[in-house]
Amino acid sequence: MKLYFALFGLFFLSCVGPKTMNSSDITAIYWGKSFGMCRGYCYIEYQFQEEGKTLTRRGWDTLQYPETIESFPPMLAPNGFKSSA
């Protein structure tokens, strides 16, 4: 029972901290998916930054499906928003 109280206390304390975040603090957004044990490219990750997007693919069989990394230029205006033109 003491273990549960200790774990709850640690969880509660881990949530305490600064609640504000500026958008300038965010440097990248990652999104991906993984399919576990499969054939082909099982792991796909997208990375979004001001410099552009990066797509990374990996597979379990590295000889048939080597890691591929593709980079794409940014599609946003310099101010960080889609251009209205």
Task: Kindly report whether the global pTM for this prediction surpasses the value 0.85.
Answer: no
All structural domains of the chain with their residue ranges: 27-75
pLDDT in tens, 46-80: 999 888 899 999 998 889 999 999 999 887 565 55
pLDDT in tens, 20-40: 767 777 888 899 998 877 888
Q: What are phi and psi of 3, to 5 degrees?
A: -65, -40
Please give the helix or strand (H or E) that residue 34 lies within, else none: strand 29-34
Which tokens sit at 9?
Answer: 């206390």
Asked if residue 50 lies in contact with residue 64, where contact means CB atoms within 8 angstroms, the answer is no
